[in-house]
Chain A
Amino acid sequence: MSAGMPFYVSPEQLMKDRADFARKGIARGRAVVVLQYDGGVAFVAENPSRALHKVSEIYDRIAFAAVGKYPEFENLRVAGVRYADLRGYSYDRSDVTARGLANAYAQTLGTVFTQESKPYEVELVVAEVGDTADGDQIYRLTYDGSVGDEHGYVAMGGGAEQIDAGLQQDWRPGMHLADALALAVRQLGADPAGGEPRTLTGDQLEVAVLDRNRPRRRFRRVQGELLTRLLSSEDPTADVPVPDEDDSPRASSTNPQTQRDSERDQDRDVDGGADA
């Protein structure tokens, strides 16, 4: 009768064990910093891989950053792209919001945390760039589905507390991109144990921005020479170029209802209204 009876584990203990398990997994990985600058939101990750991204585009104004187990957050990223594309397709592109996506992620992570055999070992940021800095939104989601509405900056992953403290001290609203990147890179390179800080170079970093000055698809990866110039303290480059050389009209191109907006901005409302 009692052969199959499990030992009693209190719900408190069960949740605590799960949380400890997830936290340990997340703390093992390298950190990601998300921070606002004058032109938008920047994402900086220590990630030597060119193929396995920690930062990705979700939709026109929305991007995603994650730390933890790659297959788990990759799964969530793809789900987010599907969510956004389906919503934008069945309603309108302007109806896809970071808040909606953050809610969906929160519910998903929360359900997995309580119901599945193991919680996701991930932490996410969903960020949306607004037309002004006041309109920027940064949501941080933890393994159990808690959502935080962040202002200014977020750090997640290994050593996040120290990085957060460093950001709190040095981050200022309205920083230029070059300064914001320098701050993030300095914090990522600091040794939590208090040892000699590492100097991270462009090829150890994955950097992307949501640039509010770009039309439509505002996500852009910053890499190669541009990243080197931005990170260099001698080079005067302080922001991504606008309009930048490898930019293209893709920006104004992907919806029959909105594709020629840029040309018509002067004399009509940019509401994606019906041309056809």
Chain B
Amino acid sequence: MTAGPESGRLPSAYLVPGSSSFTEFLSAHAPALLPSRRPLPPQATLDAPHGTTIVTVTFRGGVVMAGDRRATMGNIIANRDMEKVFATDEYSLVGIAGTAGLAIELVRLFQVELEHYEKIEGTLMSLEGKANRLASMIRGNLGMAMQGLAVVPMFAGYDLIEDRGRIFSYDVTGGCYEEHDHHSVGSGSLFARGAMKKLYRRDQAAGDAVRVAVEALYDAADDDSATGGPDVGRRIWPTVGVVDAEGARFVTDDEVAGVVEAVIADRRDNPGGAR
């Protein structure tokens, strides 16, 4: 690979003391591997799969992030069981909306970035630090965003200093904003936000937050054709991640199935759902 053609020794760039950022190391040493360094032909637009709706809800002592499983390409369903919520390290989750290929590459890079920092510095990065690192990666993608390949992630994590779950949203220019209580991004986000506004209770328990997230996704899928609803036939359920003082984990498919089935049962003959 990059270990120099003439010998197997580590290239001198590896031995330069300094940055504990993997992205900075890549941009100096292997810039072609960075998603933001790929030039696009001017004026070209292309159809690529897009991820759709992500919702995030806080609860007492943590935060829940959930995403539907659909990726669309125009009117086509490009993928019906895509994962769009990822654990980025021990205490954080990221969900992605926008161009799926770029977004997944970005998450991969972000995951390595956090682990790299942890290994080199011997300590975890602060939650704000992680949110800012993600912002700078989005900023690097602005050129592609202007040609229709936008990536809009949402970041949520447990703040070990403040002992609470926190949510950060982003815009295509890399703007990073802290959100309170709940937030949603993606094509179905308007409907999901409306649902969460009505369902959210401050200081609710984790289980209630999971229910709110699943129900908000249900509402998003109800009104947005690009958001996938729960697929009872194929048993494809939303991805639901939880992060609290114990760390980040995923709710198992069986548990999510139970929540989804409860939502569906409650909505029979009552399409508006809970009041």
Q: Is B142 an interface residue (CB 8 A)?
A: no
Q: Is the CB of A90 within 8 A of B33?
A: yes
Q: How far is the CB of B64 from chain A (nearest CB, A)?
A: 14
- Distance of A224 from chain B, by nearest CB (Å): 16
The reply to whether the CB of A103 lies closer than 8 angstroms to some CB of chain B is yes
A248, B82: Cα distance in complex, Å:
25
A250 close to B90 (CB less than 8 A): yes
The range of chain B's interface size is 35 or more
Q: Which residues of B contact A103 (CB under 8 A)?
A: 8
Contact of A86 among B25, B82, B90 (CB under 8 A): B25
A 93-110 contacts with B by CB, 8 A: 103-108, 110
Contact A276 B100 (CB under 8 A): yes
Residue A53 lies at the interface, judged by CB distance under 8 Å to chain B? yes
> Is the C-beta of B261 less than 8 angstroms from some C-beta in chain A?
no
Q: Secondary structure of the B side of the interface? A: mixed
B:243-258 near A, CB below 8 Å: 246-250, 252-253
B82 neighbours in A (Cβ, 8 Å)? 275-276
**0 or 1 for each of A78-95: is its CB under 8 Å from B? (1 = yes):** 110111011111110000
Q: Smallest CB–CB gap between B115 and chain A, Å?
A: 6
Q: Is the CB of A75 within 8 A of B17?
A: yes
**B1 CB-CB contact with A under 8 Å:** yes
Stretch touching chain A among B102-110, B144-152, B167-175, B199-207: B102-110
Tell yes or no: B15 within 8 A of A by CB: yes
Known: A83-B10, A104-B9. A253 touches B116 (CB 8 A): no
Asked if A256 is at the interface of the complex by the 8 Å CB criterion, the answer is yes
Q: Are B8 and A249 in contact (CB under 8 A)?
A: no
Which residues from A are CB-within-8-Å of B115?
A: 85, 254
Are the CB atoms of A263 and B83 closer together than 8 Å?
A: no
- Chain A nearest CB from B109 CB (Å) reads 7
In Å, the complex CA distance between A276 and B26 comes to 24
The count of A-to-B residue pairs whose CB atoms sit within 8 angstroms is: 123
User: B109–A79 contact, CB under 8 A?
Assistant: no
The answer to whether A250 and B89 touch across the interface, beta carbons within 8 angstroms, is yes
Which listed residue (A85, A104, A256) contacts B8, Cβ 8 A?
A: A104
Q: Answer whether A107 and B7 are a contact pair too, CB < 8 Å, given A88-B112, A256-B107.
A: yes
| B1 adjacent to A90 (CB under 8 Å) | yes
A47 to chain B, nearest CB (A): 14
Beta-carbon contact of A255 and B248 below 8 Å: no
Give the B-binding residues of A (Cβ under 8 A).
51, 53, 56-58, 75-76, 78-79, 81-83, 85-91, 103-108, 110-111, 248-250, 252-256, 259-260, 263, 275-276
Binding site for A on B (CB under 8 A): 1-3, 7-10, 14-15, 17, 22, 25-26, 29-30, 33, 79, 81-83, 86-90, 100, 104, 107-109, 111-112, 114-116, 119-120, 122, 246-250, 252-253
Q: Which 8 A-B pairs have the closest CB atoms?
A: A248-B247, A253-B87, A107-B9, A250-B90, A79-B14, A107-B8, A249-B249, A108-B9
